[in-house]
């Protein structure tokens, strides 16, 4: 692929954070990068700057540039790092550099393990040699990893000192530990104090091991399992009349429950992120090829009209990014151009398309790559006329779906395309059905209001 063809591909890339992939003529990913602004970043490769020498060596091989839109630059950074670690593209050098990101390490070979920082470069060297050593991360910023560690130390009260914990069993060292500020202020369970007493060693070790197990569950994102474990420990210590330990675990449970009530943490494997996301890219590419689209449909919007014999007439717009619903961008419209009980599908579709994209243009917000219209060739032409009026018809692909026959009409194909039972076609159906569901929901709400039901 030559430079002119590549430049034509990036014309409609969104000005949003994301991760991009360069593929060679075999479909293999040869380079992965992240950007705060995808459009600017990818265009910069074709200017004679510091990156030009790198790209010029790849020109003869590159046949596709794919990208994923992310919610933030930080999310793009983390995704880029995961993809590079998993795929290890030929031309990537950044993540092989010494300046890699921080990770957390727990050495279970110690009698009383602590958490320490480690660079990704060190992790690569240690992971093959170290047994019973756990690593977590990497984290995209030093500030983030420090906030995670601060929460863990405050909540689980594990030790933060750098003493050799094998000395905790020796009574002659106890006097050095008594002055510890974390012991004095009860910010640490202080195994260094009690482990030197033979009759308490087993109990102290058991309590501390449970704390470390809970820290590991927390860092692995296994929140449900962690909460269940903490509840069991409270019950056990209460039965054993060890009320002081039960209170410590109760406070830990309180902290953890409050944290998880503010967010949902899904327990997934790192490789699932890579495989799932790349699978989505492949599905979007198949949609592009099947319907002969101008750009990869990273952002797809679908529009549907709903009415009940002219009552409660309304329209809906739903937005999907990378094949996933972005519900913050869902919109609904009460039809204003027709009087109640009058039905005209074309007029209603024209109004919704006009209101939606006039607003996006005025507010200079991101336009979709693909719009799916509910209806046949007539509705498709109506929507196209509106886009043409706003001079964005060359920036957005447009298709329509006739519900009963599952036929897809496009502007550049003479015959409709039948939807089949494939991943790409099922995604199109899902987006169409989601727009339909959202429109019907609003239609029913308007109908209830018309008859005075809240």
| Alpha helices (H) in 68-158, listed in sequence order | 73-87, 120-126, 142-156
Closest-CA residue to 348 (of 335, 334, 333)? 335
Is the pLDDT reported for residue 273 higher than 70?
no
- The helix or strand, by DSSP H or E, that contains position 289, with its residue range, turns out to be helix 270-290
Query: Which pLDDT value is given to residue 149?
Result: 81
pLDDT in tens, 11-39: 677 888 888 888 765 567 778 888 888 88
Is the pLDDT reported for residue 55 higher than 50?
no
pLDDT in tens, 127-140: 777 788 888 876 65
Strand segments (E) across 210-369:
299-308, 311-321, 324-325, 331-334
Cα separation, 450 vs 360, in Å, equals 30
pLDDT in tens, 374-386: 999 999 999 999 9
Instruction: Name the one residue in this structure whose structure tokens are 């130390």.
Output: 153
Flag the least confident range among 10-14, 159-163, 281-285.
10-14
Query: Which pLDDT value is given to residue 391?
Result: 93
Confidence of residue 48 (pLDDT cuts 50, 70, 90): very low
Is the pLDDT reported for residue 227 higher than 70?
yes
Cα separation, 25 vs 28, in Å, equals 7
Domains and CATH numbers, the chain: 3-96 (3.40.1440.10), 102-199 (no CATH), 275-450 (3.30.420.340)
The CA-atom distances, in angstroms, between 13 and each of 20, 22, 88, 299, 445 are 11, 14, 25, 10, 37
Query: Which pLDDT value is given to residue 328?
Result: 85
pLDDT in tens, 64-106: 777 888 877 777 887 887 788 777 777 665 444 444 567 889 9
Exposure string of 365-400, with b = 16+ CB inside 10 Å and e = fewer, is: eebbbbbbbbbbeebbbbbbebbeebeebeebbbbb
Closest-CA residue to 218 (of 141, 158, 129)? 158
Closest-CA residue to 408 (of 425, 393, 395)? 425
Q: Computed from CA positions of residues 96, 99, 104, 105, in that sequence, does the dihedral angle turn out positive or negative?
A: positive
Grouping H, G, I as helix, E, B as strand and the rest as coil, residue 120 is: helix
């Amino acid at each position: 692929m030559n430079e002119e063809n590549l430049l034509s591909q990036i014309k409609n890339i969104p000005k949003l954070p994301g991760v991009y992939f360069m593929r060679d003529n075999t479909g293999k990913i040869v380079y992965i990068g992240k950007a705060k602004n995808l459009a600017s970043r990818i265009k910069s490769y074709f200017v004679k700057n510091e990156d030009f020498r790198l790209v010029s060596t790849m020109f003869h091989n590159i046949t596709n540039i794919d990208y994923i839109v992310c919610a933030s630059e930080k999310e793009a950074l983390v995704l880029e790092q995961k993809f590079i670690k998993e795929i290890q593209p030929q031309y990537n050098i950044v993540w092989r550099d010494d300046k890699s990101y921080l990770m957390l390490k727990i050495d279970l070979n110690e009698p009383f393990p602590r958490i320490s920082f480690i660079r990704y470069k060190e992790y690569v060297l240690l992971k093959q040699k170290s047994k019973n050593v756990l690593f977590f991360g990497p984290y995209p910023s030093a500030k983030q990893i420090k906030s995670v560690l601060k929460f863990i130390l405050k909540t689980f009260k594990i030790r933060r000192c750098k003493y050799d914990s094998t000395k905790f069993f020796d009574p002659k060292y106890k006097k050095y530990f008594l002055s510890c500020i974390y012991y004095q202020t009860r910010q640490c369970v202080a195994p260094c104090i009690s482990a030197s007493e033979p009759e308490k060693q087993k109990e102290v070790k058991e309590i501390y091991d449970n704390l470390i197990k809970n820290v590991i569950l927390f860092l692995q994102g296994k929140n449900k399992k962690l909460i269940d474990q903490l509840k069991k420990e409270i019950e056990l210590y209460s039965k054993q009349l060890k009320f002081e330990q039960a209170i410590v675990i109760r406070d830990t449970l309180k902290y953890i429950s409050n944290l998880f009530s503010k967010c949902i943490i899904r327990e997934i494997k790192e490789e699932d992120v890579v495989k799932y996301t790349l699978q989505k890219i492949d599905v979007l590419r198949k949609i592009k090829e099947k319907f002969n689209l101008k750009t990869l449909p990273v952002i797809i919007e679908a529009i549907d009209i709903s009415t009940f014999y002219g009552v409660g007439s309304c329209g809906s717009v739903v937005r999907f990014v990378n094949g996933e619903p972005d519900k913050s961008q869902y919109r609904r419209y009460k039809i204003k151009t027709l009087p109640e009980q009058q039905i005209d599908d074309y007029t209603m579709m024209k109004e919704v398309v006009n209101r939606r994209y006039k607003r996006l243009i005025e507010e200079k917000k991101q336009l979709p790559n693909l719009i799916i219209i509910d209806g046949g060739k007539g509705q498709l032409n109506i929507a196209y006329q509106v886009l043409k009026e706003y001079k964005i018809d060359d920036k957005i692909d447009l298709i329509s779906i006739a519900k009963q026959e599952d036929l897809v009409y496009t502007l550049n194909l003479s015959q409709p395309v039948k939807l089949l039972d494939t991943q790409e076609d099922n995604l199109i159906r899902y987006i169409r059905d989601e727009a339909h569901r959202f429109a019907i929901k609003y239609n029913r709400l308007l109908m209830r209001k018309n008859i005075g039901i809240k």
